[in-house]
Chain A
Amino acid sequence: AQSVAQPEDQVNVAEGNPLTVKCTYSVSGNPYLFWYVQYPNRGLQFLLKYITGDNLVKGSYGFEAEFNKSQTSFHLKKPSALVSDSALYFCAVRDMGQAGTALIFGKGTTLSVSS
């Protein structure tokens, strides 16, 4: 069965500092991995995805994520955090070998960036 773990409920960083939001996954086959962001009273917005190829994926708003197969991780990173990055972040996975299956989401991590 597929699963996603986001071990931190909240991550606090100061503006201008680098940020990391952690995600580990479990699938029986090869994974499709995604990060979404949710602002208050809004739907989920796509940030980036890993399908295949380069392990470092670049996405929207300066975010990037690194796929590590041996550690089954897909951590979200940004070199310099902005106050406007404060939001709820979700990691999601789909098993590449099961075409058409739905995304499984983690429980989410609240990112708080202080000025």
Chain B
Amino acid sequence: EAGVAQSPRYKIIEKRQSVAFWCNPISGHATLYWYQQILGQGPKLLIQFQNNGVVDDSQLPKDRFSAERLKGVDSTLKIQPAKLEDSAVYLCASSLWGDRGGYTFGSGTRLTVV
């Protein structure tokens, strides 16, 4: 089966600019996650979707971050305006709902804010 697709792979922007990341999960996976992985740290959950509804966005900095999953398939994560501390790898993952197994992760988007 095809894996989780993410784009772009790399992005360099200046602070205060905006940026968007795209994720296409595995077909049939109802649950989609966005994680932020800062260098030297473990992945931190930003937002979790079940189909097109938000399950958990408690750690999403809502003043600058937004995410949507229209039609319950693809998802877009946006940062506006970006700060230096947003430099990180943004990982998308998907799973079946209630799955006791692990997730399938995409390769991630490495964002550098200068």
On A, residues with C-beta under 8 Å from B are: 4, 6, 32, 34, 36, 41-46, 49, 51, 90, 92, 99-108
On B, residues with C-beta under 8 Å from A are: 4, 31, 33, 35, 40-45, 48, 50, 55-56, 91, 93, 97-98, 100-108, 110
B42 contacts across to A, CB distance below 8 A: 4, 6, 90, 105-108
Q: Are B48 and A51 in contact (CB under 8 A)?
A: no
Task: Identify A100's interface contact among B43, B44, B98, B110, CB under 8 A.
Answer: B98
A-B contact count (CB 8 A): 58
Bound-state Cα–Cα, A89 to B25, Å? 23
Bound-state Cα–Cα, A105 to B41, Å? 9
B106 contacts across to A, CB distance below 8 A: 43
Shortest beta-carbon contacts, A-B, top 3: A105-B42, A43-B105, A44-B105
A51 contacts across to B, CB distance below 8 A: 100
